[in-house]
Structure 1
Amino acid sequence: MQAREQLRAAKQRRKGDRMVILCQEQTYWLVNRPPPGVSNVLEQGPERGSCTSRRVQMIQSSDFYKREIECFRKALGRNRVKSSICLEAHMNFSSQRGPHDPIMSGCLPSNPWITDDVAYWAMNAPIVVAPTKLRVERWGFSFRELLDDPMGRAHFMDFLQKEFSAENLSFWEACEELRFGGQSQVPILVDTVYQQFLAPGAAHWVNIDSRTMERTLEGLHQPHRYVLDAAQLHIYMLMKKDSYPRFLKSDMYKGLLAEAVIPLETKRRAFQFLWKPLHSSPSPALQLASGEPIAASSPADDQEA
């Protein structure tokens, strides 16, 4: 009786509704696929009956079930994050990095991709007298942002020297030089780093746990460019969890934020009534996306240029 009513209701539906229901059912079975060995309802043709023979072969094999049990155990132990938490983290990341993205928010004092002004490159050079405020703020995003910036690493070194722990950053820099240096210099660099930071009575001895030290000493018999990775990771996590939070709370970092340069936007038009003040001179792609026409240069601007 129920099947008859369902058939009657299906005949009364429109063709578009029947197509939508069919697509929904196919999508459900594509997502919720049957386990291996079970016949698939979406299969077509005479090869559909071959699933039974494959299932019989799988039943006779015990190795198959051992692999399935091991796979399911790994799946149960895998950490999963809810989509809401992932989306919230993505939104926080986007809101934090948005003002620092030259494409989304523009760049001060002018956009070097659409103008001839190179002041943006000069103010954001690897080593400058006074860094910009956006640059100093990025050091507080993550410890990696601080180490990737030569200016931030120099200020962090000054902070560590005041705390008498500058050897940690020096050891990390030496390991980076070993990792990305020339292959012919690897044995010499490994011996130099060991004698300077890890050997008993070294001039700049670093604190490493016994297990990491044993692994490092075993790798020194056949030195290669990655032999100090375990020790470098140990020092990296030590600085990240201990020194880096204190650096962000220190008066040095707060003073850098207060004294940071905030560049002013340069004028884009010779005449004031033609100049439209835009935040950070956004790129032409954003203007096209928002529907605003890109103003063409007037003959007066070309003549003055």
Structure 2
Amino acid sequence: MCRGLAALPTTCLKSAKDIKPKQVFLRFLIQKHDPRAADQKQIKEKTDTAAAKSIPTPAEVKQWKKSFNHVMSSQTGRTVFTNFLRSEFSEENMEFWVACEDYKKSEPSKLASRAQQLYQQHVEADAPSEVNLDAVTREETRRNLENACPTCFNDAQKMIYILMERDSYRRFLASKLIQDLCQTQISRWD
């Protein structure tokens, strides 16, 4: 044990051990990163606000373990999963998925410009937050920009959703984050 810790009373050390799982979870949720674009900054602000306001209930965590759809349909689930993706350097997938959801709600007069921004940020080859799309889907999405409509990113968004579900979600379930969160939930409700 280091000298600094040895000087603390035993009761302080015990209290610190009791709250560590909660701190680990909260620190993971609100860790800072350098956003690459204005859209990412908005997503980050939403994520941090949600993280600060909510810690998942045991029922939520249990639902997340049942299916990826439960993670994606829960704001807290998306927040926790986004932070997991950030730890794997693949948060662009969630950013793209969320940006597509926001794009679908755009006013018709803004669809063309928003579609171009979304394409340049995430779909275009060598984009700042490029997502992993096959050449056919990338080209189809580029062609869809000619007649921008709320559904022009649907195929690309679906492909990224499936990628997250089949790849990242499995690692998420096995991650230390979920294990710590489950442990925190058990000790919290005992």
Tell me if TM exceeds 0.5.
yes
Using the aligned pairs only, state the percent identity. 34
Matches within 5 A, 1:1-305: 128-260=53-185
TM-score (norm 2): 0.68
Amino acid at match of 1:183: P
Q: For 1:84-141, what per-residue CA distance to the aligned partner results, in whole angstroms no more than 9, with x for missing partners?
A: xxxxxxxxxxxxxxxxxxxxxxxxxxxxxxxxxxxxxxxxxx7634221111111111
Take 1:130 and 1:165, find their aligned partners in 2: how far apart are those partners?
A: 23
Could you say which residue in structure 1 is the equivalent of 2:22? none
Partner residue in 2 for 1:28: none
**Separation in 1 of the partners of 2:99 and 2:157?**
9
Aligned-partner Cα distance in 2 for 1:258–1:133: 10
Question: Structure 1: which 4+ aligned runs deviate by more than 6 Å?
Answer: none
Q: Name the CA distance, whole Å, in 1 between partners of 2:168 and 2:118.
A: 22
Q: How many residues align?
A: 139
User: Which protein has the bigger helix share?
Assistant: 2
In structure 1, C-alpha distance between the alignment counterparts of 2:189 and 2:171, rounded to whole Å: 28
Q: How far off is 1:263 after superposition?
A: 5.8
Q: For CA contacts below 8 A with separation 6 or more, give which structure has more relative contact order.
A: 2
Could you list the runs of 5+ residues in structure 1 that have no partner in the other structure? 1-125, 265-305
Q: Distance in 2 between matches of 1:130 and 1:182?
A: 33
Contact 2:122 2:131 in 1 (8 A): yes
Counterparts of 2:69 and 2:177, CA distance in 1: 19
- CA-CA distance at 1:255 after TM superposition: 0.8
In the alignment, structure 2 segments of 5+ residues that lack a partner are 1-49
SS class of match (1:140): helix
RMSD: 1.8
Counterpart-to-counterpart distance in 1, 2:127 and 2:143: 19
Q: Normalising by structure 1, what TM-score?
A: 0.43
- Secondary structure, counterpart of 1:181 in structure 2: coil
- Taking the aligned partners of 1:191 and 1:212, their CA distance within structure 2 comes to 16
Distance in 2 (CA, whole Å) between partners of 1:130 and 1:146 is 14
CA contact (8 A) 1:132 1:263 kept: no
